[in-house]
Amino acid sequence: QHNALHKLPNLPLLINSYHCSRYNTNTGRLTEKMFNDVFQTIRKFI
């Protein structure tokens, strides 16, 4: 699931993102907004 958070014991937070491949962007699986949203999420934790 895109932009999902996973808290792992004794490890850094893991945040999912779909790969920014041509297939994912052309099919709309990953939009520019979705990609930017992942970085907004990451910024909340650093």
Tell me what the pLDDT averaged over the chain comes to.
96
Provide the pLDDT confidence category of residue 4 given band limits of 50, 70 and 90.
very high
Question: What pLDDT is stored for residue 36 in this prediction?
Answer: 97
Domain count, the chain: 1
Question: What pLDDT is stored for residue 33 in this prediction?
Answer: 98
Domain ranges, residue 18: 5-45
Q: What's the Cα-to-Cα distance from 45 to each of 4, 12, 29, rounded to whole Å?
A: 14, 10, 25
Q: Enter the pTM of the model.
A: 0.79
Distance from the first to the final alpha carbon of the chain: 22
